[in-house]
Each structure stands twice: as structure tokens, then as C-alpha cells.
Chains A and B, each alone.
Chain A
Amino acid sequence: MTRKKRRLWLLLLCALGLGSATALTLTAFQDNLVFFRSPSDIAREAPQPDRAFRLGGLVETGSVVRETAPDGKPEARFRVTDGAHGVSVTYVGVLPDLFREGQGVVTLGKLGPDGTFRASEVLARHDETYMPPEVADALKKSGHWNPNQGAAPPAATWNTLEPASAQPRRGS
């Protein structure tokens, strides 16, 4: 019984030490664990020129311009915003399927001297909501949600909506 108890206390002590060590390490490396920086981060602390980093945020509504570069490749210009600040981005290449206005994106590239971010890679970042197309259409039609403007309304208002009868939105 005492041996068992001693082992138990030893284990608890080890867990405490390990837990605090991990918490300290994670806090110390906080900055390196961040996968992307937001436009506000960049406004607050300008990144070093010629250092590649990841910029993430939402594609600003009405900012996307698709063109064809002189060499025939598709080129896109858009702004990445987090509400408070925005950064202009140019990208030559094929955009992911999920790319649209209001969608989350993470871009890898360098900030030019003119303040334009030249991306070499654009990844789409989708949110944690999943809904059938009929439900999304119903929300859009009823004016409760414009996907180009941002995130879906609170899930409780739509996650039990009947897709079949969703066309004229009933009170929920």
C-alpha cells in the first residue's frame, strides 16, 4: 500500500514538472509556433525586407482582380484583411478551388518596398462550418449571410434547418 502510494506521488510530481516545463517551453516558442501573421501583426511590427513569411486573413470583399500575366499565366491581385488592417497581395499561379472573397487564405511570400505582398503560394483556409448547399442558399437568399462578407451566422440558427424546405426561411 505504501509502495503504491509512493509510486503515485512520484508520478504526480513528475507530471507536474513535465507539465510546467512544457507550458514554459510553449510560451517561450509562441512566436515560432504561429503558422502565419495577420495584417495587424505586420502593421504593428514591420517584417524584415526580403524575408519570406506567411500572411493570413480573409480575402477582402470586392478586392479580387484576376488577370492574365504577359507570359500567359493567371495572375490575381487581392487584399488580405483581418478587419483592422489590410495588405495588398499579388500572386501568379493557379488559386485553390476554395479561394473566393470572404474566404480565409494563407499566403507565403515577401513584402515589397511598396507595401505589396508578393505571394509565391496561396493556400485556402476554410472555417469550421459545414452545411449542405441548400441551407447555404437559403441563408444567402434570406439575407442572413453573405459569404463574401465573412463567417456564417451562429450555427444554432441553421444547423437544424431542413434543406428541403429551406427555400422560404422560417423563423428559427
Chain B
Amino acid sequence: METADTSPGARPLPLSAAPPRAGLHRFANPGRFLQLSGRVLPWLAAAAVLTLGVGLAWGLFLSPPDWQQGETVRILYVHVPMAWLAMGGYAGLAVGSILSLIWRHPLADLACRELSPVGAMATALCLATGSLWGKPMWGTWWVWDARLTSVLVLFFLWLGHAALVRAFDDTERGARMGAILALIGAVNVPIVKFSVDWWNTLHQPASVTRLGAPGLHVDILYPLLVCGLGFSLAFAALVLARTRAAVMERRIRALQLAAARRADIA
């Protein structure tokens, strides 16, 4: 479809000519991705900053304290979005892995590779803020209950994926190994989600998505939803920007390789 990379004639700069060989169609799609994402990214980033600014200020200063947890309940506005991102991001990783395994989509490989460090960070932040919340409320930083343990496993899965895809010289092989790990690890996502319903845990059950009505007063629920949206937008913007950078870096490598090959021939 996209013929933008083929040059109509000789151009003054020797480096500007893309190599006509080595699967141009594989760059065609990423080329369009760069164009499209370049237009979306500034808006996405601006929306994330705006939403987060509103949501965090709301949660930190304007929302009421909880009747029994007092001001500590404000950790909710960062802890819960991190938990959502840890799990939602992993679901995204699983989808990307299916795309990469079955349809061998090269963009999916790159997106998964750039997604896992961000997801690992979100999960680590979820664990850290949960710990900071648990100490004053439960009376302990950490317990080995089913929820906390399964989230720790989720964190190791994120880390393992990030390490595995970078462990191979052959990036395609690394991407395939990472996709397999991501899909095996996907069984953990429902375990994280339902651990509080299936087993006795110290962690309380879900508040927002519980049957009937959310167990949060709207004055606490609304800032939480805004923060959740803001962090999701920020997460998406980060992953998109990283994927863009990765696409450009791959193109740089290809151009350098082509230049070196031409220099060899000459």
C-alpha cells in the first residue's frame, strides 16, 4: 500500500535511499503507525496530564476522609489505579502476544517488548503503595495471603517477560519466547482478580466492581475513577511513545545496516 519509502529518482544524499530489499512491506505498516501515533501522542499525553492533575488534586485535597481509615484512605487513589493497570496491562500483553504468535505482527512484538517494563513499574508501585497502606490500617507491611502473593507473582511475570524478550540476540526468537511466557502467565490474572472471593484473605474484596452497588461513596468513587482514567491515559501514552521510539530505532538499525552493506559493495 504505502510506497513512500521507494524513491522516484536519484537523490543527492546517499543515505536517504531506503534499501529496496529486505522486506519493505514490514516497514510499510510501522511507517503508517509512526505517522498515526505521532498525531495521537501529543493529545494523549496532554489528556493524561490534565486528567491526572484534576484527579490527584481531587483525591489528595478535595475528597473526604474515610470514617474509619481517616486520611490514609487517600492511598486508594494511587493504589487502585496501579492495580488496574497491572492487571489490565497484562491482559493487553496477552492480546499482543496472541497477535505476535499467530499473526506474526512485527508491531505487536515491539509493543509487547515496550509494554512490559511499564507494566512492571505499575505492579511494583501497586505493591509499594499497598504496603504503605497496609501498615497503618492492617498493622503489617506484608502478609502472604492469596491476593498479595498472586500480585507478587504478577510482578515477577512482568519482570520475567521484560528480561526474556531482551535475552536473545535474535529479537524475533526473544519476542516469541516472551509471548509464550506472557500467555502462560495469563492464568494468573483471574487468580489475582478472584483471589479475594475464592479464599480467605486479609485483603478486602473488590469495592468498585462488586455485585449490586459499588461499596464506595460517590465522593470517593468519582475521584478514584478520574485517577484511574488519568493513569490509564498516562500508561497508554508511555507505551505508545516507547513503541514509537522502538520502531524508529529499528528503522535506524536497518538504515545503518544498509549503508554499511552499500559501503562494503562500493
Contact = CB atoms under 8 A, between A and B. Distances in A.
Direct contact of A and B (CB under 8 A): yes
Contact of A155 (B139, B199, B206, B213): B213
Contacts of A156: 212-213
A124 interface: yes
B205 interface: yes
A96 B143 CA distance: 15
A21 to B, nearest CB: 9
Interface residues of B, number: 45
A30 B195 CA distance: 11
Contacts, number: 138
Interface residues of A, number: 51
A36 B201 CA distance: 7
Contacts of A58: none
Contacts of A106: 202
A80 B218 CA distance: 32
Interface stretch (B26-34, B183-191, B228-236): B183-191
B76 A130 contact: yes
A131 B191 contact: no
A13 interface: no
Interface of B is mostly: loop
A30 B220 CA distance: 35
Contacts of B102: 4, 7-8, 11
Interface in A122-145: 122-137
A7 B140 contact: no
Contacts of A19: 187
A136 B146 CA distance: 30
B69 A132 contact: no
Given A35-B145, A160-B218, A128 B206 contact: yes
Given A8-B102, A154-B212, A131 B67 contact: yes
B216 A159 contact: yes
Contact of A125 (B76, B98, B204): B204
B101 interface: yes
A22 B187 contact: yes
B42 interface: no
A33 B220 contact: no
A150 interface: no
B144 to A, nearest CB: 8
Interface string B197-219: 01111101111001011111111
A78 to B, nearest CB: 15
B68 interface: yes
A38 to B, nearest CB: 7
